[in-house]
Structure 1
């Protein structure tokens, strides 16, 4: 197997790692490409997987500081770039932990962490690396890595309760939600929404979107039915598709990706709705094959 083929065998996992660390698919692609250039020039690499993982992680850590500074001045709520995951683009999603660390809700929570905490958490929870292996990647001792993982789980756990629904159940929930939203059926929407549901919309100042989160069952239901009555919706197509390991809703205008909405189920109904409208942050998803 030549060097390029060996690298390509690792590409989905490396892209999945970089995306979870950065929350930006385009940036993650740049990191993976830079990693390949370093791989192509390297000699004497005895353990390719470990070597590539360390390079990707450190490149992402270097980018996270500037990325967080940009997000502090972002117009309106910041959401991660959505990625369609029905073809394994970001590596395996076989376990609940792998899917959860890729969800939009989790990626938003990961913004609370310091870059080292985020790296340790992702390597441990999404990819199953041991504390010792993470220490070798981050150049830290094992005790420090355990501390990073513990702090990360505490920060993330404060804002998230995992909902143990199967992919089939998630698709059924999304299809019911989509039908109610398209029909403007407020009572049906209210039955699907949790009392404390929050709707987040990311327009980035490029398109019209709510500048602040919409909270509460009644307000969110009215907000959704208002969107459904927008005259522009008559010319759009709406369909379910797997986004970030979750069943989301894809909206296209004349074949062009217009928005991606991902509902997040909870024990008492949908607890969050994440909607990406910023066209700049739909470029990667729009380039993915249907």
Structure 2
């Protein structure tokens, strides 16, 4: 033994080195495992984003929820997770529920009916307009607006069950209810989304055709087409908030009403038929954010009611308190 260097003649230490720290020994394995976990998460990202977007109605907020889901997954021992897709859905849904509850608590502090899109952009670092437009196209403006009227737990239950076919026994822990109560939440939300029409289906379909024609003519700026759907003595009323400063709140006669429609043209691009207080109307919702609602009255054409009808009048509602008081629902009847 060489007492100076502490080794024997074979060059071995007389005392073995202490073992390498575990983090040094398994670092490559841990890195590989994290990479594999990231791959598994990326395979679910699109579905998680779709779930979160429908729950929150905001691309920016949905991205935040999905990113937080990944952070929680990366800190979790996945050996205890039997069903990773289900686990991820539960986590992102709980995050969305918390965000919806926080939004509801803040809502009275903001001006307007819904701050969903603006709020999401403010907190999420800016939404991508193209992705917001895609969300509106996929889900529909009217449904986004109506979803925003649901309570947080109702919205979670409806989206998971009706839009993603998640069973109630898996939704129940997310909303902290029993499966029976969760089913009632989804049923109540479904009734709100569908609304209660105040007219027979045939009449709704006829009114829908007329409103579709009015919106199409408004978007194109075709004066003749606008006049074609207006009764000669048509009347338009509007909240001052819907008009330029000093503009009259009422217009009478088809030509005067049609001229005013041109000012509505740019908004008509964000308009969609909806059930408003049980009748066929329309909502204007850029990026799914409600800013105007239109209610209509109809008159039969000269050919008779069965052949079609014209718009006898319409009202443009823009005052936040009036918008909040509307009963809005998705109009699923087609003309």
Alignment TM class, shorter chain as reference: 0.5 to 0.7
Q: Offset of 1:190 from its aligned partner?
A: 6.7
Question: Hey, what's the Cα distance between the residues in 2 that align with 1:7 and 1:108?
Answer: 30
Paired residue secondary structure (1:55): helix
Change (3 A) 1:58 1:227: same
- 1:181 maps to 2:190: no
Q: Offset of 1:262 from its aligned partner?
A: 4.1
Paired residue secondary structure (1:263): strand
Asked if 2 retains the 8 angstrom alpha-carbon contact of 1:31 and 1:60, the reply is yes
Q: Offset of 1:120 from its aligned partner?
A: 0.5
Q: Offset of 1:77 from its aligned partner?
A: 4.0
Question: Hey, what's the Cα distance between the residues in 2 that align with 1:220 and 1:6?
Answer: 58
Question: Hey, what's the Cα distance between the residues in 1 that align with 2:49 and 2:96?
Answer: 11
Question: Hey, what's the Cα distance between the residues in 2 that align with 1:189 and 1:21?
Answer: 41
Change (3 A) 1:13 1:182: same
Asked if 2 retains the 8 angstrom alpha-carbon contact of 1:131 and 1:145, the reply is yes
Question: Hey, what's the Cα distance between the residues in 1 that align with 2:147 and 2:112?
Answer: 18
Of 252, 273, 283, the match for 1:264? 273
Question: Hey, what's the Cα distance between the residues in 2 that align with 1:123 and 1:198?
Answer: 40
Q: Offset of 1:124 from its aligned partner?
A: 0.8
TM normalised by structure 2 equals 0.50
Question: Hey, what's the Cα distance between the residues in 1 that align with 2:288 and 2:222?
Answer: 24
> What is the aligned length?
215
Asked if 2 retains the 8 angstrom alpha-carbon contact of 1:79 and 1:108, the reply is no
Structure 2 unmatched runs, 5+: 1-34, 118-126, 202-210, 290-335
Q: Offset of 1:274 from its aligned partner?
A: 2.1
Asked if 1 retains the 8 angstrom alpha-carbon contact of 2:157 and 2:186, the reply is yes
2:89 match: 53
1:48-197 equivalences in 2 (<5 Å): 48-78=84-114, 80-81=116-117, 84=130, 102-158=139-195, 177=215, 180-185=218-223, 187-188=225-226, 191=229
Change (3 A) 1:223 1:15: farther
Superposed CA offset, 1:18-41 (max 9, x none): 122222221111111111111122
Question: Hey, what's the Cα distance between the residues in 1 that align with 2:160 and 2:286?
Answer: 26
Superposed CA offset, 1:250-280 (max 9, x none): xxxxxxxxxxx142378xx98324242899x
Larger Cα-atom Rg: 2
Structure 1 unmatched runs, 5+: 94-98, 164-172, 239-247, 250-260, 280-290
Q: Offset of 1:136 from its aligned partner?
A: 4.1
Question: Hey, what's the Cα distance between the residues in 2 that align with 1:15 and 1:160?
Answer: 33
Question: Hey, what's the Cα distance between the residues in 2 that align with 1:25 and 1:199?
Answer: 32
Superposed CA offset, 1:162-204 (max 9, x none): x9xxxxxxxxx98994564343526437739xx9x9999x99x
Change (3 A) 1:139 1:67: closer
Q: Offset of 1:49 from its aligned partner?
A: 0.9
Change (3 A) 1:263 1:224: farther
Paired residue secondary structure (2:164): coil
Asked if 2 retains the 8 angstrom alpha-carbon contact of 1:181 and 1:189, the reply is no
Of structures 1 and 2, the one with the larger relative CO (CA 8 A, separation 6+) is 1
Question: Hey, what's the Cα distance between the residues in 2 that align with 1:40 and 1:14?
Answer: 16
Asked if 2 retains the 8 angstrom alpha-carbon contact of 1:186 and 1:222, the reply is no
Q: Offset of 1:69 from its aligned partner?
A: 3.5
RMSD value over aligned CA atoms? 4.7
